[in-house]
Structure 1
Amino acid sequence: MLKTIPTHQLRLGMFLHQLTGSWMNHPFWRSRFLLRDARDIERIREAGIQEVVIDTALGLDVAPEAPAEAAPPPIAPSPAADTPAAAPPLPEPHPAIASAGPEYTAALDVSRRSLGAVVELFTQARLGQALDAQTCVPVVEDVMSSVSDKPNALISISRLKTVDDYTYMHAVATCALMVGLARQMGLPDDKVREAGLAGLLLDVGKAAITAIEPELLSKPGRLSDEEMALLRTHAKRGHEMLVKEGGFSAAVLDAVLHHHERIDGSGYPDALAGARIAPLARMAAICDVYDAVTSRRPYRAPWDPGEAMRHMAQAKGQFDPMIFQHFVKALGIYPVGSLVRLQSNRLAVIVAQGKDSLLKPRIKVFYTAEEQHRLSPAFELDLADPDAADKIVGVEPPASWRFQDLDQLWLE
């Protein structure tokens, strides 16, 4: 139930539905969120906001007034009783994030904000509560700004996921990938925003599945035929959910429904082929698969980004070839974090894309394959520099080398 209350009655655990006044007059990038931090309550009051609207179905209600005369002290509630169902803790970040250098500071901030919003979005979906298109827009705007400032920073950061936060961070990563791809394709801002929104919402139907089978998405072994059939319903469930709520464009709805379709007709849920698959759904298919295969899952290790590009390029009939070319240009033939072998028989990781050539990125050289030892210290090399005197000869599978710190190397 929605309830307007004075800000002096705010307390942690309440779900803020609306801040009064213009969004330009308060310090929050979104107006609907769960109050988890006491500092947020202080910031609301410091902004001069007199009243807010809370949703008691998603969080705590106003504390009951103290009785006029003395009464026995109430039984202290258990921690679970005082914690609303809509407030799951944010997953722990990937351990490599701790090594991120200043180049990734802004991207990390966007990633954290977006993750919090997606956790709340999926929780509302899982509980069968209303999803508002407008609550998603600030996340997409944040991502668009980050991708414009430093095109690969957020995309690279978002690839680092733990098994526990995969579902949420996959939404953030796919949003960033869709924005980057749309920018590379030269689409106008309204279409870039639409692409980002589609990426954010592709898997929202999985939230409904977790309400039926809570452990399905984190199952470490192979899914049974029945479990796979249930998982494949997420596209239709997400589409139905968004149609019911309203406010989403036809293109976004179609991308959510058809992001698992394939050019050769081998996808689902409708086995569409060729031109019957809309452009936004074709873009979503590429971004969704790339992030999925480069992320750690309960049943397998992540693919190296360079390996992923190679495998996807060889997957004939799966992806739109023209859109995939744009995708390669957006991320690079060797995306940031790829492990590569050099002509000098040394190994390096990609740290940034080259300005003029996809074949000449900036790398960090850290290992000599012939002598099998680490270089100390590792050093950066710009392959576009005429004095570099080296070049990439191929992608190396990280599993063959068992390096434990590849992500730390390119993040530093």
Structure 2
Amino acid sequence: MFKRISVQHLTTGMYIYEMCGPWISHPFWRSAFLLTDASDLQRLRKSKVTEVWIDPARGKDIAPGVPCVVWDPQQTSDPDRTPPTAKPQARPLAAIDTAPTSLGKELHTAMALCEQSRDAMLDMFSEARMGRAIGMDMAENLVNEITGSVLRSPDALLSVARLKTADNYTYMHSVAVSGLMVALARKLGHDEAAVRRAGMAGLLHDLGKAHMDPAILNKPGQLTDAEFAHIKGHPRAAYDLLCGSSDMDATVLDACLHHHERLDGGGYPDGLGGDEISLLARMTAICDVYDAITSDRPYKKGWPPSESLRRMAEWTGTHLDKRLFETFVKTVGIYPVGSLVRLQSERLAVVSEPSVKSLTAPRVVVFYCTQSQRNLSPQLVDLSQPGQDRIVCQEDPGEWPFTHLETLWRKGAAATA
């Protein structure tokens, strides 16, 4: 016998059999579990889920007088008492709106998706640390939602996911790499199934870090040889963990195991080189490196996107696949959203949206004059239009005292919604 109750009547010790609502409405990797942690109870009450099904046979029952809907599987189901499905209420990709839209319109959805995805990944890493098998249903749900957002407007999710902190890096890195993989696969012309495999590889590639020593993983200084050897074990740990999932795709498993291999054979864990490294693993390597070096980490500040792309270009041929990297640059743009740039007019601007016409002429929000050293009234400018200013270089935001760049590019994107 199952009971549907309000989340306000939930208490620790109850067994949640199913959340009432789509997966994206709640922050948990699992859809069914024994509620033992008070912090999980608070997270659930703050989510968009208003009701859950509980199984009193596997946990605490409700107190007398608490309103509920009862469903007994031994009796004829009442159409007004929708029984639990025992399955996560996922939205298949076919049911997700993928019609292209503007960056401004997609931003709000992307922000909510990143928040939910971060919590889901945190929960999944916790499950992995405890040695529990990873169910692929929830991973597929997350990849579907990420894919839908990227198809609607690729720059929205990628821009928001880049705004991670050192504290949530591990979880948001997985989400960001998944989005980058979906965008790259689309740019390469892959079919829907291949795009979803790419998203899954990006989402799961670092799951092995759940078994790494947090003190080493987050060490602010240089690693010793022994510490680096420990960290190099995370691809194999991910592979071993995911092999326990019966429906795991073999190419995704391979990408999780070999995304740190190098074309010159100098990578790990197996020292593969050249064509020995699969296409999906080579794609994952590029997306993983880009998000890692553009992000703030406990031991170093992230590089600006343009500097990151310049460095990565130097690593092609030895570390990264040159052809795939060239396509990747077209995917993220030479000046990704949020980049601080200097214009020929000696004004500074922040990139608010790529241009469909030119990689070097995005839409920007001009806001500062370097000659007079004063703030300007923010102005949205499409550099791809005839007679407009042009970018001469990208600036390092760390060398300027600006703290409002994120607000500027978001307002600029919203203005084109």
TM > 0.5 fold call: yes
* 2:298 alignment partner, SS class: coil
Deviations 1:213-240 (A, max 9, x none): 2322222122221111111100000001
- TM-score if structure 1 supplies the norm length? 0.80
Amino acid at match of 1:371: S
1:206 paired residue number: 209
Q: In 2, Cα distance between the equivalents of 1:52 and 1:64?
A: 9
C-alpha distance in 2, partners of 1:125/1:319? 29
Unaligned 5+ segments in structure 1 are 46-50, 67-99
CA separation of 1:7/1:242 partners in 2, compared to 1, >3 Å: closer, same or farther? same
Contact 1:140 1:175 in 2 (8 A): yes
Q: CA deviation at 1:402?
A: 3.9
TM-score, structure 2 normalization: 0.79
One-letter amino acid of the structure 2 residue matched with residue 394 of structure 1? C
Question: In 2, Cα distance between the equivalents of 1:252 and 1:14?
Answer: 37
Q: CA deviation at 1:19?
A: 3.4
Tell me what 2:138 maps to: 135
Q: Which residue of 2 aligns with 1:352?
A: 353
Aligned position for 2:407: 408
Matches within 5 A, 1:187-198: 187-198=190-201
Amino acid at match of 1:303: W
Counterparts of 2:194 and 2:3 in 1: how far apart (Å)? Answer: 39
Partner-residue secondary structure (3-state), 2:214: coil
* 1:346 partner amino acid: R
Q: Aligned partners of 2:170, 2:210: CA distance in 1, in Å?
A: 9
Correspondence 1:62 to 2:60: yes
Alpha carbons 2:23, 2:141 under 8 Å: kept: no
Work out which of the residue numbers 6, 12, 35 in structure 1 matches 2:3.
Answer: 6
Q: CA separation in 2, counterparts of 1:294 and 1:175?
A: 15
Q: For the residues of structure 1 that align with 2:223 and 2:56, how far apart are their CA atoms?
A: 41
After the TM superposition, which residues 43-62 of structure 1 pair with which residues of structure 2 at under 5 Å, given as runs?
Answer: 43-44=50-51, 52=54, 61-62=59-60
Give the alignment of 1:42-191 within 5 angstroms.
Answer: 43-44=50-51, 52=54, 61-62=59-60, 104-191=107-194
Which residue identity is paired with 2:404? D
Alpha-carbon spacing, 1:191–1:245, altered in 2? closer, same or farther (3 Å): same
> Aligned residue for 2:92?
none
Kindly provide the CA deviation profile for residues 278-308 of structure 1, in whole angstroms up to 9, marking residues without a partner as x. Answer: 0000110011011111111111112111221
1:394 and 1:53, CA in 2 relative to 1: closer, same or farther beyond 3 A?
farther
Cα deviation code 1:252-286 (max 9, x no counterpart): 00000011112222211112111111000011001
Counterpart Cα distance in 2 of 1:287 and 1:17? 37
Q: Report the alpha carbon displacement of residue 55 of structure 1 after superposing the two structures with TM.
A: 11
Q: Deviations over 1:344-376 (max 9, x none)?
A: 12221111100111111111112222333322x
Shift of 1:125: 0.2
* Equivalence for 1:93: none
**Structure 1 residue matching 2:263: 3-state secondary structure:** coil
Q: Secondary structure at the match of 1:280?
A: helix
3-state SS of 1:379 partner: strand
Residue 400 of structure 1: CA displacement? 2.9
1:316-331 aligned within 5 A: 316=316, 317-331=318-332
Shift of 1:8: 4.5
Contact 1:11 1:41 in 2 (8 A): no
CA RMSD of aligned residues (A): 2.7
Change (3 A) 1:182 1:345: same
Instruction: Give the deviation of 1:164 after TM superposition.
Output: 0.9
Q: Which residue of 2 aligns with 1:398?
A: 397
TM-superposed CA distance for 1:14, in Å, is 6.2
Q: How far apart in 2 are the matches of 1:233 and 1:380?
A: 47
User: Which amino acid counterpart does residue 156 of structure 1 have in structure 2?
Assistant: S
Partner AA of 1:218 in structure 2 = N
Change (3 A) 1:5 1:191: same
Contact (CA 8 Å) 1:12, 1:37: kept in 2 or not? no
Runs of 5+ consecutive residues of structure 2 not aligned to the other structure: 33-39, 65-102, 412-417
How far is the alpha carbon of 1:159 from its aligned partner? 0.4
Q: Secondary structure at the match of 1:367?
A: strand
Q: Select between 216-225 and 119-128 the one with higher mean Cα deviation.
A: 216-225
Q: Does the 8 A contact of 1:144 with 1:176 survive in 2?
A: yes
Instruction: Check conservation: 2:14, 2:54, Cα contact below 8 A.
Output: no
Change (3 A) 1:257 1:383: same
Letter in 1 for 2:120: A
Q: Contact 1:341–1:347 at 8 Å: present in 2 too?
A: yes
- Structure 1 residues 149 and 102: alpha-carbon distance in aligned structure 2, compared to 1, 3 A threshold: closer
Q: Following the alignment from structure 2 to structure 1, what is the Cα–Cα distance between the partners of residues 264 and 56?
A: 49
Q: Secondary structure at the match of 1:380?
A: strand
Structure-2 separation of matches of 1:275 and 1:201: 23
The one-letter code of the counterpart of 1:62 is K
The amino acid that maps onto 2:408 is L
Q: Retained in 2: the 8 A contact 1:353–1:360?
A: yes
Q: How many residues align?
A: 358
Distance 2:110 2:384 in 1: 26
- 2:341 partner SS: strand
Equivalent-residue separation in structure 2 for 1:353 and 1:42 (angstroms): 36
Question: In the alignment, what sits opposite 1:337?
Answer: 338
Distance 1:396 1:8, change over 3 A: closer
Give the residue type in structure 1 aligned to 2:141: P
State the identity %: 42
Once the 2 structures are TM-superposed, how far is the Cα of residue 5 of structure 1 from its aligned partner?
Answer: 4.2
- Using a 3 Å threshold, how does the CA distance of structure 1 residues 366 and 126 change in structure 2: closer, same or farther? same
Partner Cα distance (2:406, 2:48) in 1: 37
For 2:246 and 2:56, locate their aligned partners in 1 and report how far apart those are by CA, in whole Å: 22
Contact kept? 1:337, 1:407, Cα under 8 Å: yes
How far residue 245 of structure 1 moved from its aligned partner, in angstroms, is 2.8
Say which SS state the counterpart of residue 244 (structure 1) adopts.
coil
